[in-house]
Amino acid sequence: MIYRLSPFLRKLLWYILVGISIYWLGNVLVVFPWLVSKTLGIIAMFLSTILWGYISFYCLKHSPKKDWNRDTIYIALSFLITAVVQDYFLYAVYRGVPDELYEPTTFLAYGLVFLLPFFVRYVILRKYELRNVLVVTNTKLIITMVVGVISFLLTIWSVRYW
pLDDT at 2 over 80: no
Q: Which tens digits make up the pLDDT trace of 24-51?
A: 999 898 888 888 888 998 899 889 999 9
Query: What is the average per-residue pLDDT within 58-67?
Result: 93
Q: Which tens digits make up the pLDDT trace of 67-105?
A: 999 999 999 999 999 999 999 998 889 888 888 888 888
CA angle 107, 108, 112 (to 5 degrees): 115
Query: Which of 23, 17, 15 has its CA nearest to residue 113?
Result: 23
pTM over 0.85: yes
Domain ranges of the chain: 2-148
Residue 118, helix vs strand vs coil: helix
Output Rg (C-alpha) for the chain, integer angstroms: 16
Residue 34 confidence (pLDDT): 84
Alpha carbon of 17 to those of 10, 55, 140: distances in Å?
Answer: 10, 12, 10
Residue 3 confidence (pLDDT): 65
